[in-house]
Structure 1
Amino acid sequence: MDEIRWGIIGCGDVTEVKSGPAFTKVPNSSLVAVMRRDAGKAADYAQRHNVPTWYDDADALINDPNVNAVYVATPPDTHAEYAIRAMRAGKPVYVEKPMARNAAECEAMNQVSRETGMPLLVAYYRRALPYFLKIKELIDTKVIGDIRYVRIQLNWQPYDEEVGENAKPRWRVDPDISGGGHFHDLASHQFDYLEYVLGPIKTASGIARNQAGLYQADDIVVANFEFESGVLGTGTWCYTVNKEQRIEETELIGSKGKISFSFFTMNLIKVETEAGLVEYTIPAPENIQHPLIESIVNQLRGGGKSSSTGETGARANMVLDWITAR
């Protein structure tokens, strides 16, 4: 392909800044069509983002001859359906994370990718962000020696719409739509990146519970996991604490020091060794998926390979399934 002409299925919030604008900023790439079931919202998005064509039917976008690559940005319950349709129509697919609701759906997507030869890429964009590439560099150059274990802690307060008399929980905490709860949504990023820098996780187990009763999905998870390399890991994710208790930190403990960083605020990397404390501040790009989308466009044009594929993306779902026993 000389020019990658993208169509978006599901032009919701994630596409406004995080991803959508990047499709036109990357060289040899353009956004030519968008689809949303609400025709008014699809037309509004197209007008605001200067997209020439909009649809309220996914098949119409998939079969548009001017679209030669599809970005699926709907909630996870339709990822497999739309991705499979697009690949069977002969079009590469870039799909939001988590890749699907569970590992079985991911495997169905990968099977069609293998059958059709159509590339399947996943929006685990931390694999291409300068902040996380710096952490990878620190690990690879053994600044803190050999990694011994990983510790993840995430305390998050409930979102406003999840509490009170008029609470209307978001789709992210409806397991039928998302596959789980906030753990499923956020920890997928964490496990995907940790496998990128530390290698495959071979075992994982955990306890997932709903303590606060604000919605159907689990709201607290504790887990233990082991990498094939022998590195061990532990994590605690709680989504029902007050703002004073809010914390989000990951520590990589090595034989010669420690790296501390944040998966979601991404504002500081701390490296502690015998030589003292070194801090790195690395800003995120305006459109956070831009670097990964650029790597995907390069791959589709025959100029390399993106690090986030359907095969790697499916592994994050597998680990989530192990921990929550789905």
Structure 2
Amino acid sequence: MSNATTDTMSGTTTDGPIAVAILGAGRIAHSMAATVRAMMADPRYSRLVSLYAVASRDDDRAREFADRYSIPVSYGSYDDLLADPRVDLVYIATPHSLHAEQSIMCMRAGKAVLVEKAFTVNADQARDVIAASRDTGMTCVEAIWTRFMPSRGIIDGVISSGVIGEVQSIEANLGYPTTGKARLTDPRLAGGALLDVGVYPLNFIDMVMGGRPVARIDTTMSAYSTGVDAQNSMTLWYEDGTMAAATSSMTSVTDRIGSVRGTDGYILCRNINNVESIEVFDGSHQLVSTHAIPAQLTGYEYEVASTATALRAHAIECPEMPHADTLRMMELMDDIRERWGLRYPGE
């Protein structure tokens, strides 16, 4: 990397943009490539990150991807990426079932990682990845973009203002017909609605509740022909009596609304996967206020910037999604799947 020095302890750059490499060349990898390219052209981020490389198991596919986004380096194997000392941060964009192995592999090679959700297949794998982060001192972050977006702070501010009173219940849903994508129906790749889209309503709820412990779970799912969950419903009961309901589906289009309901009013958030508007209503269902969402490049820039900033500070986690939050969410999803009797091959 030009005009950059390297920290001899961690192998990461301390001057010049963080060199980002993308591992995998699927749909979400394209979204991340477009994001980092946009960040490079934005004065807020241009000195922070640079899109340096892409790796795929197919050399031609990697080269085509690199050409499309003007990426300087492409690799036809993951080992080649690991061997390049110029790579600082690896965005892992492969199926869930590969995240743990690849994250640990990257960190042991001196690369920080931004791992696409779901972080891993299960909590045991998450513990292994987090342990590797602590052992190596490498930054390791789950790429659940809603945790990093400005909308999170806006929702928190409305709740803390007291305008809706004390929160009593929460509801969130997300669903898209995606059964045509083989990886999402394959149990060997940890497919199903929960790990693909169900993470968003559960994270929406967890952000509102501030990580408070769940006292009881009532849940059910309908299975796809391959055995993974096609649709699911989850009701979480908290120790203080708050009720939270989450649903997700890979067979139907849902309204994607998140609602936070209090003793004096409620909040409606349109599109919990990337909040588009926040409306506050009083106890008479009258609109009290509407909160605009700041313009964004793609929405992924916030998680990239936070991870790069943590890497510069030699921190192993980000405040928006610390390891404790990632592990808590993986444990919650393990608990839910156990109640369904859904286990993936190899677990």
TM-score between both structures, scaled by the size of structure 1:
0.86
Higher relative contact order (CA 8 A, sep 6+): 1
**Distance between the aligned counterparts of 2:31 and 2:251, measured in 1?**
28
State the aligned residue count: 313
Match of 1:321 in 2: 334
Q: How does 1:48-127 map to 2 (within 5 A)?
A: 48-127=68-147
**Distance between the aligned counterparts of 1:19 and 1:314, measured in 2?**
27
Structure 1 residue 232: Cα displacement:
2.3
Structure 1 residue 247: Cα displacement:
2.5
Match of 1:181 in 2: 192
**Distance between the aligned counterparts of 2:238 and 2:295, measured in 1?**
28
Q: 1:171/1:297 Cα in 2 relative to 1: closer, same or farther (>3 Å)?
A: same
Match of 1:271 in 2: 280
2:149 is the counterpart of 1:141: no
Q: CA-to-partner distance for each residue in 1:168-205, whole Å, 9 max, x for gaps?
A: 5431222221x241222112123234323322252353
Q: 1:60/1:228 Cα in 2 relative to 1: closer, same or farther (>3 Å)?
A: farther
Q: Which amino acid aligns with 1:126?
A: T
Aligned counterpart for 1:294 among listed residues 295, 305, 312: 305
Contact 1:220 1:237 in 2 (8 A): yes
Structure 1 residue 41: Cα displacement:
1.3
Contact 1:7 1:69 in 2 (8 A): yes
Match of 2:11 in 1: none
Q: CA-to-partner distance for each residue in 1:208-254, whole Å, 9 max, x for gaps?
A: 4335x45431112121213466532123334434x6xx432221111
Q: Is there any run of 5+ residues in structure 1 with no aligned partner, and where? A: 163-167
SS at match of 1:11: coil
Contact 2:146 2:273 in 1 (8 A): no
Q: 1:133/1:77 Cα in 2 relative to 1: closer, same or farther (>3 Å)?
A: same
**Distance between the aligned counterparts of 1:121 and 1:265, measured in 2?**
19
**Distance between the aligned counterparts of 1:227 and 1:116, measured in 2?**
36
Q: 1:180/1:322 Cα in 2 relative to 1: closer, same or farther (>3 Å)?
A: farther
Q: How does 1:112-261 map to 2 (within 5 A)?
A: 112-154=132-174, 156=175, 158-159=177-178, 162=179, 168-177=180-189, 179-203=190-214, 204-210=216-222, 213-227=224-238, 230-241=241-252, 246-261=254-269
Structure 1 residue 292: Cα displacement:
1.9
**Distance between the aligned counterparts of 1:48 and 1:169, measured in 2?**
23
2:36 is the counterpart of 1:22: yes
Q: CA-to-partner distance for each residue in 1:102-158, whole Å, 9 max, x for gaps?
A: 11111110111111121211111112222332112212222212211112344x463
Match of 2:61 in 1: 41
Q: Which amino acid aligns with 1:190?
A: P
**Distance between the aligned counterparts of 1:146 and 1:222, measured in 2?**
25
Contact 1:19 1:288 in 2 (8 A): no
Structure 1 residue 67: Cα displacement:
0.7
Structure 1 residue 71: Cα displacement:
1.4
Q: 1:233/1:29 Cα in 2 relative to 1: closer, same or farther (>3 Å)?
A: same
Contact 2:260 2:267 in 1 (8 A): yes
**Distance between the aligned counterparts of 2:240 and 2:140, measured in 1?**
27
**Distance between the aligned counterparts of 1:61 and 1:229, measured in 2?**
48
Q: 1:22/1:229 Cα in 2 relative to 1: closer, same or farther (>3 Å)?
A: farther
Q: Is there any run of 5+ residues in structure 2 with no aligned partner, and where? A: 1-13
SS at match of 1:247: coil
Q: 1:16/1:238 Cα in 2 relative to 1: closer, same or farther (>3 Å)?
A: closer
Q: 1:170/1:150 Cα in 2 relative to 1: closer, same or farther (>3 Å)?
A: same
